[in-house]
Amino acid sequence: MTFVRNAVVLRAETVQMKGGEKLGGCAKRERLDRQKVCMRAIDMKYISGIVLLILCFCMAGEGYAEVIDIDPPITIKTKIVGQKRLIAGKIVSRDEQGVKVELKRSAESLDIPWTAMPAGLVYNLHNKHFIEDDSYESWVKLGRLMSEMGQGVRFAKLAFEKAVAIDAEVFAEEFDGQEPRVVAKQMWDEKKNRRREVNAGVGNGGQDVDEMKMAPAVPMALRWDALVKTVPEDAIKSLKHEAESTQARLGIKLQLHETKFFLFYTDLKKPEAKRWAGELDRMYVKLAELFDVPKDKNIWRGKALIYVFKREKDFRRCETEIYQIENNPLKNAAGWCFQKGNGDVHVLFYRQADDMQFAKILVHEASHGFLFRYRSRVHVPSCWNEGLADTIADMLLPQGNLLRGRQQRAEAYMKSNGHLGGTFFKAPQIQGFQYGIASKLTQFMISQSKKRYVNFINSLKSGVEWRVALKDYYGVDEQVLVESFGLSFGVQGLKAYDSASE
């Protein structure tokens, strides 16, 4: 294989290999050139095993606000909005997006956005520590921020009252003579109304579910059974033979744990192997429920073949000697999902030390395999594919919180830049920072209407072009979706692409 190295950020890659096979994997950002396989390698170097809310507030060239160091640091103890975890530490810096907190009981630090903190705490921090000039502009700015927060309307009123005390004439001119409480309430109501628009049908362009145009049937030429007639027993027998051959070539003995939908080969101890095999079955049931697939229906070509090695060096040998991943620059790849031209799905891993990260990777990659086999041979575009895989992993393993950190970074990017970055919808493979955007958008679409989301994916798998699928089978066009998505987390006028990519 020919690899052309590009920037180094966490992302997934899509390439193609000879013979129509596909392999997929999350990895360091590596552009893989002129191949025909969907590749998904996991760079564990960039994934923490604990709950982090990581926000890229200070990236050079991205338009982030100036960072202000806090000296002396401010002691803080709070909960993140929507989470149970108590954060205790010291605020060491701040910017327009939020604060950086050095944790009390570890050497780690967290970047926490204002919108993820209780409104009262945000107000008090500004009132006591951050608004040093006591200027009119500073208090109006704080009032606008507070009006965007969950319980912030009364604190917005307090901030606007401070502004009036400094310059009532300017306030009256700026806000048409209205009192602070009225201004705060109007700003709050505007945000609430935007949310209602979103919930009513993804902005003003949405369709009701009852009016939804149903996805077309899959053309016969795109169906799996049109490509190859599969007898499940024969396919399973072939997969088992392939697994035996793999073990013989590697000189490694793996134990088979066969479930209803998976052939799980591993040298892990039996109790642990049963645990991970059970996690895969849970994933299958969750995806089947989402897409209204009968729970007993097997969409695989026989079953999905899973390898999990106890030792990394055995995994490396397998990827090189069995799957011909040669001259591979993805040195930290923790797993692969091979989507083969005949419909077979192979997932290859080694056992990392952190249970939660390993489980999330396993579910993420197996989810790609499910979507590969679902309904037809049509490949779902990267942004929807990665978004669903991350969403399913988070549904099954919410305690891991990996997705939350990605989404915090993504939200900070969108708020700072006003767009989704690059060619988000059009890209053969989204960039690393866009994973959080993809999962957040997927969750948004599902929250508006699960039925319309499933209908949209069904239309993609029926071969409908994604723009047509979005407008005709989800109910909105591209820009209405993006604008409504942005309003759901307080960004007005969010764009699909940056100006250079349009």
pLDDT of 258 over the 70 cut: yes
For residue 489, the enclosing domain spans 381-501
| 231 shares a domain with 186 | no
For 22-36, 44-58, 259-273, which range has the lowest pLDDT when averaged over its residues?
A: 44-58
Question: What span, in angstroms and rounded, lies between the C-alpha atoms of 163 and 200?
Answer: 36
| 263 shares a domain with 163 | no
Q: Note whether 51 and 80 are within 8 A (CB).
A: no
DSSP helix, strand, coil percent of the chain (3-state; round to 5): 50, 15, 35
480: phi then psi, degrees, rounded to nearest 5: -60, -40
Q: Note whether 65 and 98 are within 8 A (CB).
A: no
SS (H, E, C) 193-248: HHHHHHHHHCHHHCCCHHHCCCCCCCCHHHCHHHHCCCCHHHHHHHHHHHHHHHHH
Using CA atoms of 391, 397, 401, 407 in order, give the dihedral in degrees to the nearest 10.
0
Chain mean position to CA 463: 24
Mean pLDDT of 387-398: 85
| 328 shares a domain with 242 | yes
| 369 shares a domain with 222 | yes
Q: Note whether 157 and 171 are within 8 A (CB).
A: no
For 353, counting Cβ atoms within 10 Å of its Cβ (0-12 exposed, 13-18 middle, 19+ buried), the class is exposed
For 27-31, 159-163, 337-341, 445-449, which range has the lowest pLDDT when averaged over its residues?
A: 27-31
pLDDT of 370 over the 80 cut: yes
| 429 shares a domain with 329 | no
Residue 91, beta-bridge partner list: 74, 101
| 231 shares a domain with 153 | no
Are β-strands 304-309 and 262-266 bridged in parallel, bridged antiparallel, or unpaired? parallel
Question: What span, in angstroms and rounded, lies between the C-alpha atoms of 422 and 475?
Answer: 24
Nearest to 350 by CA among 372, 368, 340, 365: 365
For 476, counting Cβ atoms within 10 Å of its Cβ (0-12 exposed, 13-18 middle, 19+ buried), the class is buried
Q: How many domains does the chain have?
A: 3
Residue 256, beta-bridge partner list: 265
Q: Note whether 498 and 421 are within 8 A (CB).
A: yes
Confidence grade of residue 400 (pLDDT, cut at 50, 70, 90): low
Pick the residue with more confidence: 464 or 86?
464
| 243 shares a domain with 177 | no
Written as six digits, the tokens of 271 are 């109790």
In a domain, 55, yes or no: no
Question: What's the chain's average pLDDT?
Answer: 79
| 188 shares a domain with 122 | yes
- From 199, 225, 245, the end of a domain falls on 199
In a domain, 184, yes or no: yes
Question: What span, in angstroms and rounded, lies between the C-alpha atoms of 237 and 106?
Answer: 51
- From 157, 173, 199, the end of a domain falls on 199
Rg of the chain over all Cα atoms, to the nearest angstrom: 25
In a domain, 410, yes or no: yes
For 140-144, 203-207, 262-266, which range has the lowest pLDDT when averaged over its residues?
A: 203-207
| 426 shares a domain with 343 | no
Q: Note whether 484 and 495 are within 8 A (CB).
A: no
Written as six digits, the tokens of 215 are 């996805």
For 100-114, 149-163, 184-198, 368-382, which range has the lowest pLDDT when averaged over its residues?
A: 184-198
Q: Is 160 helix (H, G, I), strand (E, B) or coil?
A: helix
| 418 shares a domain with 319 | no
Residue 331 confidence (pLDDT): 54
Quick: pLDDT tens for 155-166: 999 999 999 999
State how far the alpha carbon of 371 is from the alpha carbons of 26, 364, 424, 441, 458, in Å: 16, 11, 20, 18, 10
- Which helix (H) or strand (E) covers residue 468, if one does? helix 466-468
Which amino acid type is present at position 29? R
Nearest to 146 by CA among 172, 168, 120, 176: 120
Evaluate the omega torsion of the peptide bond into residue 72 and state whether it is cis, within 30 degrees of 0. Answer: yes
For 434, counting Cβ atoms within 10 Å of its Cβ (0-12 exposed, 13-18 middle, 19+ buried), the class is buried
Chain mean position to CA 232: 34
In a domain, 226, yes or no: yes
Which amino acid type is present at position 139? W
Written as six digits, the tokens of 260 are 């209803």
pTM over 0.85: no
In a domain, 153, yes or no: yes
Confidence grade of residue 494 (pLDDT, cut at 50, 70, 90): very high
In a domain, 16, yes or no: no
- From 377, 403, 435, the end of a domain falls on 377
In a domain, 221, yes or no: yes
Pick the residue with more confidence: 502 or 359?
359
In a domain, 405, yes or no: yes
| 385 shares a domain with 372 | no
| 355 shares a domain with 301 | yes
Quick: pLDDT tens for 299-333: 999 999 999 999 999 999 998 899 888 655 445 67
Residue 259 confidence (pLDDT): 93
Mean pLDDT of 339-346: 92
